[in-house]
Structures are given as structure tokens and as C-alpha cells.
Amino acid sequence: MSNFKGYLLRAVRTDTIFPNDYILYSSWKSTPNQREEIKAYRDDNTRELYRVTAEGQKSIFQFDTIDGLSLQDKINIQNFFTSAEINTKERKVQLEFWNEENNQYSIGYFYRPNMEFTIQDISEDDITYSSLTFEFVEY
């Protein structure tokens, strides 16, 4: 039986699921539970590798939205994250995400780096945006 509940991302503070319809699935990339070497070296004589790996494991993930978002779509996406922020200046948000390594959901605090916005088209009452890229780095 699968632990998957049909979504990739949920904001913990607001208990809101990020709409899958906005995600370009083929763009989803994650590196869950990253290992970090505190020290790694080879013995001068035997050439054996020795590693001291940090206990903590942090995750990163990113995705692109679908192309052709309306201004309202972009605002809805922004509101999903800003309403769930714990620290606005740092763009710190607690998220539950699908962890591919564990095949279950994990929860962590993430920051959302600066974003670029590309306009595809404008009309008298709307703006159409190219795909947006979202990146999340665990604290």
C-alpha cells in the first residue's frame, strides 16, 4: 500500500495543499535527505576512503509551474506561500513534501530563494506569465 496521498506539497501552517494543476510534473526535481561530508580523506598508504558524515540530512526540491499563468494564477501561487510563511523576511515556510528517498511525506522548514518573473503577454485586464521556477532549500 502506498503512502502517497495525491499531492507533492502542503503548507503546514495553513494546512493547504499546493494545487497539482499548477505544477509541470516533468520539472519536479528533488534531492531528499542530502548527506554532507564533514571530512573525507584517503589513507596515504592503503588508499582506503574514510568519511565523517554529518548526522543531519537536509532536503532540497524545485519545480516549474505550467506555462501561461494568468495574473490571478500567479497571485494565488504567491499567496499559497506568503500566507504560510513563518518569517517573511527570510521567506521561511514549513512544508510537507513527498520524499522520494523514503517514499513518504516529510516535513521541514525551507526558504524560497529570489524568483524571476517573465511576462508572455499583456491585455487590457490581464498579464500572462511564462513558467515560474520555485526552489526550496531546507534550513
pLDDT at 38: 84
pTM reported for the whole predicted model: 0.85
Write down how long the chain is: 139
Report how far residue 63's alpha carbon sits from residue 30's, in angstroms, rounded to the nearest whole number: 9
Percent of the chain past pLDDT 90, that is, above it, reads 84
Q: Is 105 helix (H, G, I), strand (E, B) or coil?
A: strand
- Give 97-139 pLDDT, tens digit per residue: 999 999 999 999 999 989 999 999 999 999 999 999 999 999 9
Report how far residue 53's alpha carbon sits from residue 41's, in angstroms, rounded to the nearest whole number: 12
DSSP state of 44: T
57 has a pLDDT exceeding 90? no
DSSP state of 113: -
- Dihedral sign, Cα of residue 30, residue 32, residue 36, residue 40: negative
pLDDT at 41: 87
Helices (H), 52-122: 71-82
- Give 69-84 pLDDT, tens digit per residue: 999 999 999 999 999 9
